[in-house]
């Protein structure tokens, strides 16, 4: 497990800055108007809720011509509320402060001979994202490694060695090729790594992707960093990845996607031809990874 996370340190500073700003506003305005003081403090601490609302409005507009039915206003509102809450838990707590709580597990009485798991997070995340999953797999006595993809803003291809080391460690511990469980950009990281593996020995048994922009996403047009540009809708990088896969046999993929995904849209961009594509209704991009059905069925694949 990595000893350091630059992203965790950055998010610690962001959280501290927001708390200080909210506290300062509260102290300044309270003598004048307690209600205004409370309202302003909440607006500072939950500023992300406004950005999420804009994303949900965009997905409904951009995704109208997609094969998946357009979500209702009620579904979007519920997805926005769940996404707002879980964003606080992940970006304000798990990733900045608790990312080392559940260390990788490569030893133990139940490890050898049982298929392990490699967890690959998405854009601007770290291994703390997976904490509820890691707790489940640790309790099951199964081997796992959860990677940190850093540097944060680099080419997706640069993450290949990180995945290679994780897969090798789990394979050595169990004697079996692992399952990859990937969220968002992590699915593209897995595919990019597989592209350079021998077709006869891909090194993994199955790949599960959750809200991964397999054909890019409309929202990535707003990004100017290397991996963000690669994730643009039908980008040259995405197209080349697809051509490379067409020339070889692909390992089995299960792709979870949602018609309320506020990051990867239109929704069917999170699917792959020939994969087991599973639609989930009413879940936002981050929340999708913690839907009970998604967790249960994905972990079941590792037990096969």
Q: What is the pLDDT of residues 89-110, one digit of tens each?
A: 999 999 999 999 999 999 988 8
The answer, yes or no, to whether residue 61 has pLDDT greater than 90, is no
Task: Please state the rounded mean pLDDT for residues 168-174.
Answer: 96
- What integer pLDDT is reported at residue 219 of this predicted model? 95
pLDDT score recorded for residue 65? 65
CA atoms within 13 A on the CB side of 88: 13
Query: In the chain, what is the straight-line distance between the N-terminal and C-terminal CA atoms, in Å?
Result: 26
At residue 251, does pLDDT exceed 70? Answer: yes
Sign of the Cα torsion 109, 292, 186, 13 reads negative
The residue extents of the domains of the chain are 6-97, 117-303
Phi, psi (5° rounding) for residue 10? -60, -45
How much is the average pLDDT of 169-196?
Answer: 96
What are the CA-CA distances from residue 168 to residues 8, 130, 159, 190, 194 (Å)? Answer: 25, 20, 15, 14, 13
| Beta carbons of 185 and 234 less than 8 angstroms apart | no
Pick the CATH number of 117-303 from 3.40.50.300, 1.10.10.10, 3.40.50.1820, 1.10.1270.20: 3.40.50.1820
Q: What percent of the chain has pLDDT over 90?
A: 86
The pLDDT mean for the chain works out to 94
d(CA 163, CA 166): 5
Q: What is the mean pLDDT of residues 276-301?
A: 97
Task: Please compute the mean of the pLDDT values over residues 31-54 and round it to a whole number.
Answer: 94
Per-residue pLDDT band for 64 (boundaries 50, 70, 90) equals: low
Q: What mean pLDDT is predicted for residues 218-223?
A: 94
pLDDT digits (tens, 9 = 90+) for 110-148: 889 999 999 999 999 999 999 999 999 999 999 999 999
Three-point CA angle 111, 144, 101, nearest 5°:
115
Mean predicted confidence (pLDDT) in 16-40: 94
The vertex-185 CA angle with 183 and 189, nearest 5°, equals 100
Does residue 199 have a pLDDT over 80?
A: no
Average pLDDT over residues 216-233: 95
Q: Residue 101 contacts by C-beta under 8 Å, 6 or more apart in sequence?
A: 128, 131
- Compute the distance between CA of residue 270 and CA of residue 225 in angstroms, rounded to an integer: 21
Whole-number percent of the chain with pLDDT over 70: 99
Cβ proximity of 130 and 121 under 8 Å: yes
pLDDT at residue 110, as a whole number: 80
């Amino acid at each position: 497990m990595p000893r350091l996370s630059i992203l965790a340190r950055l998010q610690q500073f962001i959280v501290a800055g927001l708390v200080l700003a909210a506290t300062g506003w509260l102290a300044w305005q309270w003598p004048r108007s307690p209600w205004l003081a409370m309202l302003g403090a909440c607006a500072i601490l939950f500023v992300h809720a406004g950005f999420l609302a804009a994303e949900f409005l965009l997905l409904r507009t951009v995704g109208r011509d997609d094969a998946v039915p357009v979500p209702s206003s009620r579904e979007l509102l519920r997805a926005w509320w769940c996404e707002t809450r879980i964003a606080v838990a992940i970006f304000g707590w798990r990733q900045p402060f608790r990312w080392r709580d559940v260390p990788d597990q490569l030893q133990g009485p139940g490890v050898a001979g049982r298929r392990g798991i490699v967890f690959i997070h998405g854009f601007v995340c770290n291994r703390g994202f997976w904490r509820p999953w890691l707790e489940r797999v640790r309790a099951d006595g199964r081997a796992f490694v959860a990677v940190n993809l850093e540097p944060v803003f680099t080419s997706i291809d640069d993450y290949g060695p990180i995945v290679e080391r994780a897969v090798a460690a789990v394979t050595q511990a169990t004697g079996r090729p692992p399952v990859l469980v990937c969220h968002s950009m992590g699915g593209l990281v897995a595919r990019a790594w597989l592209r350079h593996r021998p077709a006869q020995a891909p090194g993994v048994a199955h790949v599960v992707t959750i809200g991964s922009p397999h054909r890019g996403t409309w929202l990535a047009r707003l990004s100017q960093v290397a991996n963000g540009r690669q994730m643009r809708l039908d980008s040259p990088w995405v197209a080349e990845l697809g051509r490379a896969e067409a020339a070889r046999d692909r390992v089995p993929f299960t792709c979870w996607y949602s018609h309320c995904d506020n990051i990867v849209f239109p929704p069917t961009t999170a699917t792959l031809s020939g994969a087991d594509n599973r639609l989930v209704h009413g879940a936002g991009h981050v929340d999708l990874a913690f839907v009970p059905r998604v967790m249960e069925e994905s972990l079941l694949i590792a037990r096969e």
